[in-house]
A and B are shown apart, each in its own frame.
Chain A
Amino acid sequence: MTERIIIAGFGGQGVMTMGKLLAEAVMCSDRQVAFIPSYGAEVRGGTANCSVVLSDETIHYPFLAEADTLIVLNQPSYDRFRSRLRPEGLLVLNSSMAATDERIEAGAGRAVLLRIPATEAANDMGNVRVANMIMLGAYAAARGGVTVETVVGILQAELTGARAHLVDVNRRAFLKGQALAKA
């Protein structure tokens, strides 16, 4: 099984961090993974995107014409990448900052749609920057393969010293995303 994922938002929403974290979590489960950061003359505040390919087999082809999963954190990303999602793919949408186009989503081959008010929920938790972790938690609830224990383990290794206290809010954000996806 191979899953091709696009993650997109605006610069500063933690799109790259989320993609890399997802890739590392998958690597910990001994599956194959390739992570491609967006690559271009990016501008702060502009759009940011990355792709992650997960597979049980060796990944030769790291590109994706078509995504099995699209995770979007703002409206321009939805507008730009919606057409790349394959029919019946999974769309995880930050509904605080993006609305779907009903003409597209109601049509044939519509996506499995998860509307997650991630920015709102992150603000409620007192840290808007964990919206990406809420989205990751929601993705994990839908697709599996990524556990809170794995994610916390990776964060503990990366967030040390003065940043160590951030592990907890990220853990809670991941669990919040899982809960919102299941609600």
Chain B
Amino acid sequence: MSSSRILTSGNEAAGEAAARAGCRLYFGYPITPQNELTAYMAKRMPEVGGVFIQAESELAAISMCYGAAATGGRVMTSSSSPGISLKMEGISYAAGAELPVVIINVMRGGPGLGNIEPAQGDYFQATKGGGHGDYRLIVLAPWGPQEFADMTGEAFELADFYRIPVMVLADGLVGQMMEPVVFRDPPRRELPPKDWALTGAEGRAARRVVSFYIGAGVLAEHCRKLRAKYDRIESCETRWAETDVTGADLALVAYGTSARVCMEAARLARQEGMKLGLIRPQTLWPFPKAVVRRRAEEGMPMLVVEMSQGQMVEDVRLAVEGRAPVGFVGRGGGGAPAIAEILAAARALRKKA
């Protein structure tokens, strides 16, 4: 593929970006609305000398990721909400073993088998654990095919740099829609050597990649080490984009497709003389709490918009700590929130503030 603009879906763009980032090991199991990604990897991995395995289940796929990542390769799996739930045990293990695995979730409606409409109901699962134990994932949130490609490429750099599983949390629309995409190299980092990888122990001491620390105090020490790593990530990797927030009547806070809906709401609001800014978290963990807090200190009311019944809004409230009013517009069960509802909530919130 050339480096010019091509019209492609978010799912396929993410697949190509992964291949370009050096991913040579993909393990997955099909599920709508991310099937184009699995299909793309089935075609692309053999072309670049990589391995594609359609596993017998999501559990098998994430366990294959664990094994393959332990050997030092660049590894990816992808799924959609119900399939991601199935992977949670393996994700917790990979977090415990500090394995760089890239996990893509193209969210659909839930809970349960739900439906196949775009949704954002997996925010809690992605950012607050999901699997058991005391761990974090870096969670990146693209709002279109271009960013889906960019973030997937960078996810591999982040995963190797910090030795941590990274999740790209897209939604069904971001995966399915087609827009012009330019493939570009992610910012390259000086990566630490994988001196922990299982590459054959001939001539050196054996290594172990485990998440099992049974000795007295060993796990506590391991968790302290993880905590220090998470602190470093919070300091260095928090990302967001602000649009027209300075001087606004209130700030919308949204990610993914919801943020695109908010941009249209802000455009329509201008026609009635209401100025709406947008704070768009690009990392959901670490959550950009400093910018939310700073805006709250300025007294900026916030209206959180999600394709869920209210999840990220809790992180916004934690960052605001009562300094400014926080409203919420959301829609559960898949589908985008209505612009009329956003505008009505914005009018009400502005008056209250």
Contact = CB atoms under 8 A, between A and B. Distances in A.
A172 B267 CA distance: 42
Contacts of A37: 9, 176-178
B261 A61 contact: yes
A37 B117 CA distance: 13
Nearest to A51: B177
Interface in A17-62: 20, 23-24, 27, 32-37, 39-41, 59-62
Contacts of B336: 63
B264 interface: yes
B33 A35 contact: no
A119 to B, nearest CB: 27
B116 A60 contact: no
Contacts of B177: 34-37, 62
Nearest to A38: B176
B260 A61 contact: yes
Given A27-B5, A40-B116, A33 B180 contact: yes
Contact of A27 (B172, B180, B267): B180
Nearest to B174: A62
A61 B263 contact: yes
A35 B7 contact: yes
B65 interface: no
Could you tell me the dominant secondary structure of chain B's interface residues? mixed
A35 B177 CA distance: 6
B179 interface: yes
B173 interface: yes
Contacts of A36: 173, 176-178
A27 B173 contact: no
A68 B261 CA distance: 19
A34 B116 contact: no
Interface string B333-353: 000100000000000000000
Interface string A51-91: 00000000111110000000000000000000000000000
B7 A20 contact: yes
B80 to A, nearest CB: 13
A27 B7 contact: yes
Interface string A99-122: 000000000000000000000000
A63 B257 CA distance: 10
Nearest to A65: B339
Contacts of B7: 20, 23-24, 27, 33, 35
B264 A33 contact: no
Choose among A34, A40, A60 the residue with the greatest number of B CB atoms under 10 Å from its CB. A60
A4 to B, nearest CB: 12
B264 A61 contact: yes
A6 B84 CA distance: 33
A93 B267 CA distance: 33
Given A27-B7, A40-B116, A62-B173, A35 B264 contact: no
A24 B180 CA distance: 9
A36 B175 CA distance: 10
A98 B283 CA distance: 49
B146 to A, nearest CB: 11
Contacts of B179: 33-35, 59
Contacts of A59: 179
Contacts of A27: 5, 7, 180
A131 to B, nearest CB: 23
24 contacts: A20-B7, A23-B178, A27-B7, A33-B179, A33-B180, A34-B177, A34-B179, A35-B7, A35-B177, A36-B177, A36-B178, A37-B177, A37-B178, A39-B116, A39-B172, A39-B176, A40-B116, A60-B263, A60-B264, A61-B260, A61-B261, A61-B267, A62-B260, A63-B336
Given A36-B178, A41-B116, 7 more contacts: A20-B7, A23-B178, A34-B178, A35-B178, A35-B179, A37-B176, A63-B261
